Amino acid sequence: MLNYSIDADGIATVEFDYPNKSQNILNAQSLGAYGETMQKALADPAVKGIVIASAKKDFIAGGDLAELGAATDAAAFHAAISQTHKLMRAIELGGKPIAAALNGSALGGGMEIALGCHYRVAADNPKARFGFPEVTLGLLPGAGGTQRVPRLVGMMAAAPLLMEGKRIKVAEAQKIGMIHAVVKVGDERTAARAWVADAIAAGSKPLQPWDTKGFKIPGGGPNRPNGMQMLMAANAMLREKTYDNYPAPRHILSCVYEGLSTNLDTGLAIEAPRYFTNLVMSPVSKNMIRSLFFGMNEANKLASRPAGVPQQKYSKIGMLGAGMMGAGIAMSTATAGIDIVLLDTTQEAADKGKEYARKQWNKQVQRGRMTAEGMEALLARIHPTADYADLKGCEMVIEAVFEKREIKADVTKKTEAVIAADAIFASNTSTLPITGLAEASVRPANFIGLHFFSPAEKMPLVEIIVGKATSDATLARSMDYVRAIGKTPIVVNDSRGFYTSRVFGTYVSEGMALLEEGVPPALIDKAGLIAGMPVGPLALADEVSIELVYKIAQQTRADLGSAYVERAADRVAAKMVADLGRLGRKSGAGFYDYPADGPKHLWPGLAQQFPVKVPAGTQSAGADEAPAQQGGRAKNALLAAADDGTAMLTLEQIVERLILVQSVETVRCLEEKVLRAPIDADVGAILGWGYPPFRGGPIGWLHTLGPAQAVATLDRLAEQHGPRFAAPQLLRNMAAKGERFYPA
Ligand code: NAD
């Protein structure tokens, strides 16, 4: 855990060396060992000074998230963290010079340990990062980070570190004053030791700045004009950005304001129980840790990859269709150092795809994020062509041609005539079932769905769709490709809309149903944002195009025949597309108008097409009334009865519907075995369509509510709004048995 030695000059070295891990992490065990060792060193008269170091390639990676995620005893947790605070104060005030030798990254609790030393010297290691990523997982740096960082570097410089989890490189850390000195890699221990030796020789008893008489917070504290202004702006910005869905940044601001208004000891006593323990116990941090950290890590480690299939290395991929998706996938592939043959119907069309890549990368070059030579090297990997013969030697070919069965069948046949018998053919279809598309293949076992998201060069998720005939080997090798290009895979079984489109579609549809019910459109889209979604449902319908919603409804109706149940969204889409010709953003007209000379705004005509339900006795909405006014007026009367006698919806009810409609469809996907595991649902939702991480994911949110409460709520919603909210049997069974989706 820790190596401890004392040299001839009485300088002790305390070296973090977590057993059987590549990184040092902080948990009850390692912190316990640190406490014991430091107390021993402080008490030992033979020890004159101490160097804190690491035996790993980095200093300390941070707190043990498994331990934090599992902590449920608030009193015990608070006692433990208070103990850590006490230890760090004893170190700071122990009268012996203590220096940290930072050989690599020091993050979260690791940086806090370093901040508890009198002196920090870092190796000039280009890979090293310093900062506090806690906020990104719903936590705060609770070993005194919220108190020491702003006291050391000032509130301004501390803000991005604490509030955004920004990680900085060594030069910046030195510039803002978080690190005292930077030395050649390998010299950091010697430098730390030299500082300790000098302090011993000088006979000084080093103190932290905040323990020094006359200490002033750099740039002023929270009650100085600058500080007040900064906090006021930060509060407002936070509220605007997060709708207060994330308690961590708000708690950090409170720690800074309250803690810096007093001395360090009182500040620590404020940080520990009121804010840090509170966050660790909150469902938000549990959700974020589970989905964003463990779920994502499992997915990236390919935990669900079929065993026994040798890892596939890729050197040449074929891409059919050089359109928006094809060009993006080509960019991701080339970036991973894999050659890519980009095929379209004509050489010119294929060249256009490569041009797209050049345009995107050129922006990186202009921003200094890529060199011109680097860009040319990447472009050299993209080989545009119209000739199928060029696909020879590809280990995998992905198609992203038009969404038409016949065209996809045609390119499948032409490709399979050229590629090796064991090569994989993947379809990037967004709607067509994979098993059906595989009928065009002579090797359906090698046929699979790889559903990318737009823009494909940026979006991190790939939904892998396993058809009826897809072999385990094809799945395993496809997962290898997804990882090779640095994306996160989730694996689902074949079904209409697969998982992501199917559930994401319910959010958009629910927004359209609300519109038909007479809820003001401005309120619907605002409710989506307040729910934590990145875009309101109507704005989103415009983005993906209302026409697509309309077309999918038509296709589903044709496929299902009499079994098809018409939804409100189908009627709204039909009216918008067939009657009004408002297809969405791409046609410049949808639920919103897109004027060439200004920002988009809700289409005023909506009020006539979908009259807003107003409380009894209130004048009904006119077409000439601005949508914002409609929203405002209806919002004031949210709890009133409408003029037809039915109750008006509250904001909370709208949010509840927009969120639970996704959860209930996700449970159906689990029940129908479209999804293989709850965590796939949660990771896929967050990465695929920006589902709010604070809820953990559509399943994580049900876990948070608890299945029993979820069933009760869904029963009420189903009674009010129809069977789309009906609780699936799977959920009822869990509620009856007192089970949950994840460990408590
Ligand atoms: P696009 O229209 O931008 O590109 C399609 C390209 O395929 C065009 O360049 C076209 O010339 C080419 N093409 C058509 N027929 C061809 C043929 N026979 N041989 C070779 N090339 C041919 O479309 P897109 O948005 O890139 O979508 C492509 C596929 O990806 C579709 O199946 C779509 O459903 C799916 N998809 C799209 C998105 C999205 O957000 N756009 C997301 C996921 C999946």
**What is d(CA 81, CA 143) in angstroms, rounded to the nearest whole number?**
7
Choosing from 622, 637, 652, the residue where a domain stops is 652
* Nearest by Cα to 55 from 80, 86, 77, 23: 23
Q: What is the CATH classification number for the domain harbouring 559?
A: 1.10.1040.50
Greater confidence (643 vs 283) lies with 283
Q: What is the pTM of this model?
A: 0.92
Radius of gyration of the chain (CA): 29
Q: What is the CATH classification number for the domain harbouring 165?
A: 3.90.226.10
Count up the domains in the chain and report the number. Answer: 4
pLDDT at residue 322, as a whole number: 97
Q: Is the CB of 462 under 6 A from ligand 1?
A: no
Q: Is the CB of 539 under 6 A from ligand 1?
A: no
Please state whether beta strands 316-320 and 396-399 pair in parallel, antiparallel, or not at all (unpaired): parallel
* Residue 305 within any structural domain of the chain: no
Atom of ligand 1 nearest to the CA of 404: 32
* Residue 337 within any structural domain of the chain: yes
User: 462: helix, coil or strand?
Assistant: strand
Annotation marks residue 403 as catalytic: no
Q: Is the CB of 207 under 6 A from ligand 1?
A: no
Q: Which of 320, 325, 390, 425 to mutate to test the pocket of ligand 1 (most atoms within 8 A of CB)?
A: 325
247 and 337 part of one domain: no
Q: How far is the CA of 399 from the centre of ligand 1 (A)?
A: 8
Q: Is the CB of 402 under 6 A from ligand 1?
A: yes
89 and 72 part of one domain: yes
536 and 616 part of one domain: yes
**What is d(CA 217, CA 264) in angstroms, rounded to the nearest whole number?**
11
Q: In the predicted model, is pLDDT for residue 394 greater than 50?
A: yes
10 and 91 part of one domain: yes
374 and 333 part of one domain: yes
Identify whether the C-beta of residue 347 lies closer than 8 Å to the C-beta of residue 326.
Answer: no
The residues near 377 (Cβ < 8 Å, ≥ 6 apart) are none
pLDDT in tens, 348-381: 999 999 999 999 999 999 999 999 999 999 999 9
Atom of ligand 1 nearest to the CA of 328: 26
pLDDT in tens, 599-650: 999 999 999 999 998 766 655 444 454 544 444 444 444 445 566 656 678 9
Identify whether the C-beta of residue 169 lies closer than 8 Å to the C-beta of residue 231.
Answer: no
Atom of ligand 1 nearest to the CA of 407: 18
Helical H segments across 367-490, by residue range: 372-379, 405-416, 434-437, 472-484
Greater confidence (26 vs 273) lies with 26
What is the chain's mean pLDDT, rounded?
94
* Residue 403 within any structural domain of the chain: yes
Atom of ligand 1 nearest to the CA of 408: 18
Q: Is the CB of 428 under 6 A from ligand 1?
A: yes
268 and 376 part of one domain: no
Q: How far is the CA of 487 from the centre of ligand 1 (A)?
A: 20
pLDDT at residue 494, as a whole number: 95
Residue burial 524-542, b: 16+ Cβ < 10 Å; e: rest: bbbbbebbbbebbbbbbbb
Identify whether the C-beta of residue 470 lies closer than 8 Å to the C-beta of residue 530.
Answer: no
pLDDT at residue 689, as a whole number: 96
638 and 684 part of one domain: no
* Residue 630 within any structural domain of the chain: yes
Q: How far is the CA of 501 from the centre of ligand 1 (A)?
A: 17
**What is d(CA 135, CA 119) in angstroms, rounded to the nearest whole number?**
26
Q: Is the CB of 432 under 6 A from ligand 1?
A: no
Q: Is the CB of 346 under 6 A from ligand 1?
A: no
98 and 33 part of one domain: yes
* Residue 296 within any structural domain of the chain: no
pLDDT at residue 558, as a whole number: 87
Q: Is the CB of 455 under 6 A from ligand 1?
A: no
pLDDT at residue 273, as a whole number: 82
pLDDT in tens, 313-338: 999 999 999 999 999 999 999 999 99
Residue 167 tokens, joined: 């990680």
Q: How far is the CA of 457 from the centre of ligand 1 (A)?
A: 15
Residue 727 tokens, joined: 């609780």
Choosing from 496, 517, 550, the residue where a domain stops is 496
How many other C-beta atoms lie within 10 A of the C-beta of residue 569?
Answer: 26
Q: In the predicted model, is pLDDT for residue 487 greater than 70?
A: yes
pLDDT at residue 33, as a whole number: 97
* Residue 661 within any structural domain of the chain: yes
**What is d(CA 403, CA 546) in angstroms, rounded to the nearest whole number?**
16
Q: Which of 401, 501, 555 to mutate to test the pocket of ligand 1 (most atoms within 8 A of CB)?
A: 401
pLDDT in tens, 164-208: 999 999 999 999 999 999 999 999 999 999 999 999 999 989 999
460 and 608 part of one domain: no
Q: Is the CB of 323 under 6 A from ligand 1?
A: yes
How many residues are present in the chain? 744
User: 128: helix, coil or strand?
Assistant: coil
Please name every residue paired with 226 in a beta bridge, in sequence order, or none if there are none.
Answer: none
Provide the residue range defining the domain that includes 705: 654-737
Identify whether the C-beta of residue 310 lies closer than 8 Å to the C-beta of residue 390.
Answer: no
Q: Which residue has the tokens 């697969």?
A: 498
| Average pLDDT score over residue span 460-465 | 98
113 and 195 part of one domain: yes
Phi, psi of 465 (to 5 degrees): -110, 120
Sign of CA dihedral 310, 311, 314, 319: positive
Please state whether beta strands 461-466 and 447-452 pair in parallel, antiparallel, or not at all (unpaired): antiparallel
Phi, psi of 576 (to 5 degrees): -65, -45
**What is d(CA 464, CA 449) in angstroms, rounded to the nearest whole number?**
6
Identify whether the C-beta of residue 347 lies closer than 8 Å to the C-beta of residue 428.
Answer: no
pLDDT at residue 635, as a whole number: 44
Q: How far is the CA of 350 from the centre of ligand 1 (A)?
A: 12
What pLDDT band is residue 497 in, cutting at 50, 70 and 90? Answer: confident
**DSSP collapsed to 3 states, 474-496:** HHHHHHHHHHHCCCEEEEEECCC
Distances (CA, A) of 460 to 142, 242, 350, 425: 30, 22, 24, 21
524 and 483 part of one domain: no
- Kindly tell me the burial class for residue 570, based on how many C-beta atoms sit within 10 Å of its own C-beta (0-12, 13-18, 19 or more): buried
- DSSP annotation of 675 reads B
505 and 618 part of one domain: yes
What pLDDT band is residue 715 in, cutting at 50, 70 and 90? Answer: very high
What percent of the chain is modeled with pLDDT above 70?
Answer: 96
Annotation marks residue 376 as catalytic: no
Choosing from 223, 254, 281, the residue where a domain stops is 281
Considering 15, 36, 67, 112, which one is annotated as catalytic? 112
* Residue 676 within any structural domain of the chain: yes
Q: Is the CB of 400 under 6 A from ligand 1?
A: yes
Phi, psi of 121 (to 5 degrees): -120, 135
Considering 36, 67, 92, 134, which one is annotated as catalytic? 134
pLDDT in tens, 498-546: 999 999 999 999 999 999 999 999 999 999 999 999 999 999 999 999 9
* Residue 377 within any structural domain of the chain: yes
Residue burial 173-186, b: 16+ Cβ < 10 Å; e: rest: bbebebbbebbeee
Q: How far is the CA of 400 from the centre of ligand 1 (A)?
A: 4
Q: How far is the CA of 408 from the centre of ligand 1 (A)?
A: 10
Q: What is the CATH classification number for the domain harbouring 354?
A: 3.40.50.720
**Helices (H) then strands (E): counts for the chain:** 32, 21
